[in-house]
Amino acid sequence: MKIIKKAQSGSFESSDIIVLIEPVVEKSGRNIEIDSSVMLEFGDAIAKLILDKLDEYNITDIHLIVKDKGALEPTINARLETAIMRACDLQKGTL
Amino acid sequence: MTFEDTDFRQELLDLKNPLDIKLLKTFLNSLGFDYKPEDVEITMIIYNLNNEIVGTGSLNGNTLKYVIVAPEFRDSTAFPLIVTYLADKALEKHKQCFVYTKPDTAKLFQALGYSLIATAEPLFSVLEFGYKTIKDYQHHLKKQKVKTTTTNIASIVVNCNPFTIGHRYLIEKASEENELVYLFVVSENLSAFPFEIRWKLIEEGIAHLKNVKMLATGPYIVSGAIFPNYFLKHESWSLISEKQAEIDVNIFVEYIAPVLNIKKRYIGCEAYCETTAAYNTAMHKILPKHNIEVIECERISANKDFCKNDYISASKIRDAIKKDTLKDVLTSLPECTKNFLLSEDSAEIRLKIKQRNGRH
């Protein structure tokens, strides 16, 4: 899947995560920046969640920034999915 | 007392509505802040279900302003709520957003994931958040870096609004005395002459200098973020501009000079503009501590017999345009600027200068 535009999801609140996605030139790979208040403990787990989600959507070229404030796994997955859907212009009306 | 998000209602203020403005002014004045609606593009406000104002935040371009939460709600989620909302809005149009705040509140923003760029104790900290960071700018500079073995590397930061022979003199002098000169051109478009035109005129004017490398400053040198003096009512103006300048110079020594191996900075001496004078003071104070030499040059005059008030200055040129006396100052202009100002291409800019009241 191709990232078409920049998009974000989530918030700065505690127990949430903010995800920023930006398109990059083709074949430049994945540029992922992770910052978390629980980096030491869960940094690797967050990275794995992100990579799995990108694999799931078959995304190879992306600039992705996350700032985590201790979000739980389902939250992280939901935020990632929303951001990806927005960035790929797949999001349907939700109202 | 704890609050859930659902207790909060967020709204955008209608900045054209005097009632809305009055509401916010009353709220902010009660907490000791001055609110100037002309300083901001959008303002959001958070109420609780009792219609009490919980907090507010504003945005001017990509700079967050007036982010304030009422003391009785500071243990709630109002602060991240405001910051999220504003960051959302800012990142729609920009690659990053900035916050200027006091060093002790900088921690709050850092806790939200903003990264600290520089601090000038005890007044200012600058933080940023977004797709791009100062590391990307450093990366960009590394790509532009000229391969050289010499350590005789100087730098100049210019706005050139517009380019005069005074600027050319300073650049030529640096070019003669050093093997390599990095010329930073302020890229923010807050001046009468847009960046593209300033850049083009300089490029033409210094084409004969082969050891000068032109670079755009990006948002990090002489940033256009307006002085956030609203939360500094009790500080003197000179201290504010001194600290603002310190931030700027700190960023220069910490992030820019090391990447390009800069050892000298050339500046023109400043006689009339307090802000620029504050910059020069800050540079004299900070740069030598980091092994960067500051070379302050006397300004030159268009006439041969030099008298003290006769120096060339870009603001005099703008003044002349305003008063329609451009032909009196033509001797202060290099060919490229002269041709540009006398041509039809500059008609729009000249008209804009005439209508403006500000100095820049």
In a domain, B52, yes or no: yes
pLDDT of residue B307: 54
Residue B12: both structure tokens together: 């955008």
Question: CA of B80, closest CA in chain A: separation in Å?
Answer: 5
**Which candidate, A71, A66, A95, A68, places its Cα nearest to that of A83?**
A66
- If one counts the domains in chain A, the total is 1
Q: B156 and B225, same structural domain?
A: yes
Contact B194, B203 (CB under 8 A): no
Mean pLDDT by 10 residues, chain B (360 residues): 64 88 90 82 90 90 88 88 92 88 88 88 86 90 86 88 88 92 85 87 90 87 55 66 83 91 88 75 90 87 61 83 83 86 85 73
- If one counts the domains in chain B, the total is 2
Q: B83 and B158, same structural domain?
A: no
Q: B155 and B90, same structural domain?
A: no
In a domain, A93, yes or no: no
In a domain, B73, yes or no: yes
Give the CATH number, domain containing residue B293. Answer: 3.40.50.620
| Chain B residues in contact with A18 (beta carbon < 8 A) | 84, 87, 113
Residue that finishes a domain, picked among B71, B94, B117: B94
Q: Across the interface, do B84 and A22 touch by the CB < 8 Å criterion? A: no
Q: Across the interface, do B80 and A14 touch by the CB < 8 Å criterion? A: yes
Tally of CB atoms within 10 A around B13: 19
Element (H, E) at B353: helix B347-355
Burial class (CB in 10 A: 0-12, 13-18, 19+), B88: middle
DSSP state of A17: E
In a domain, B201, yes or no: yes
Give the CATH number, domain containing residue B28. Answer: 3.40.630.30
Q: Across the interface, do A6 and B131 touch by the CB < 8 Å criterion? A: yes
Question: In this predicted complex, what is the ipTM?
Answer: 0.81
Contact B159, B192 (CB under 8 A): no
Q: In what order do the strands lie in the sheet with A62-68?
A: A7-10, A17-22, A62-68, A30-36
pLDDT of residue B1: 42
In a domain, A57, yes or no: yes
Query: A23 and chain B: CB distance < 8 Å anywhere?
Result: no
In a domain, B160, yes or no: yes
In a domain, B12, yes or no: yes
Return the exposure string of A26-45: e unless at least 16 CB atoms fall within 10 Å of the residue's CB, then b: eeeeeeeebbbbeeeebeee
Q: Across the interface, do A13 and B91 touch by the CB < 8 Å criterion? A: no
Contact B99, B110 (CB under 8 A): no
Q: B156 and B86, same structural domain?
A: no
Average pLDDT of chain A?
Answer: 92
The backbone torsions φ and ψ at residue B292, rounded to the nearest 5 degrees and listed phi first, read: -115, 125
Residues 6+ apart with CB under 8 A from A6: A20, A21, A22, A23, A87, B91, B131
Q: Which long-range contacts (CB under 8 A, 24 or more apart) does A45-54 make?
A: A45/A73, A46/A76, A49/A73, A49/A76, A49/A77, A49/A80, A50/A76, A50/A80, A53/A77, A53/A80, A53/A81, A53/A84, A54/A30, A54/A84
The backbone torsions φ and ψ at residue B222, rounded to the nearest 5 degrees and listed phi first, read: 45, 60
Question: CA of A15, closest CA in chain B: separation in Å?
Answer: 11
β partners of residue B182: B155, B213
In a domain, A75, yes or no: yes
Closest alpha carbon within chain B to A67: B113
**Separation CA A7–CA A88 (nearest Å):** 9
Give the CATH number, domain containing residue A33. Answer: 3.30.230.10
In a domain, A92, yes or no: no
pLDDT digits (tens, 9 = 90+) for A54-95: 999 999 999 999 999 999 999 999 999 999 999 998 877 765
Question: CA of A54, closest CA in chain B: separation in Å?
Answer: 18
In a domain, A1, yes or no: no
**Which candidate, B143, B149, B138, B112, places its Cα nearest to that of B127?**
B112
Query: A34 and chain B: CB distance < 8 Å anywhere?
Result: no
**Which candidate, B142, B291, B159, places its Cα nearest to that of B222?**
B159
Q: Across the interface, do A6 and B81 touch by the CB < 8 Å criterion? A: no
How big is the A-B interface in CB pairs under 8 Å?
Answer: 36
Return the exposure string of B102-128: e unless at least 16 CB atoms fall within 10 Å of the residue's CB, then b: eeeebebbeebbbbebbbbeebbbbbb
Residue that finishes a domain, picked among B94, B124, B150: B94
**Separation CA B18–CA B59 (nearest Å):** 19
β partners of residue B156: B183, B266
Question: CA of A67, closest CA in chain B: separation in Å?
Answer: 6
Q: Across the interface, do A13 and B80 touch by the CB < 8 Å criterion? A: yes
In a domain, B103, yes or no: no
Which structural domain, as residue segments, surrounds residue A48? 7-87
pLDDT of residue B2: 47
Residues 6+ apart with CB under 8 A from B185: B158, B159, B160, B195, B198, B199, B202, B214, B215, B216, B217
Give just the sign of the alpha carbon dihedral B233, B234, B237, B243. negative
DSSP state of B225: P
In a domain, A95, yes or no: no
| Count of residues making up chain A | 95
pLDDT of residue B54: 92
In a domain, B248, yes or no: yes
Residue that finishes a domain, picked among B44, B74, B94: B94
In a domain, B122, yes or no: no
Q: In what order do the strands lie in the sheet with B53-60?
A: B9-12, B42-47, B53-60, B63-69, B96-101, B124-130, B115-120
**Separation CA B260–CA B138 (nearest Å):** 9
Q: B86 and B198, same structural domain?
A: no
| Chain A residues in contact with B80 (beta carbon < 8 A) | 11-14
Contact B156, B214 (CB under 8 A): no
pLDDT of residue B264: 92
Question: CA of A45, closest CA in chain B: separation in Å?
Answer: 19
Which structural domain, as residue segments, surrounds residue B64? 5-94
In a domain, A94, yes or no: no
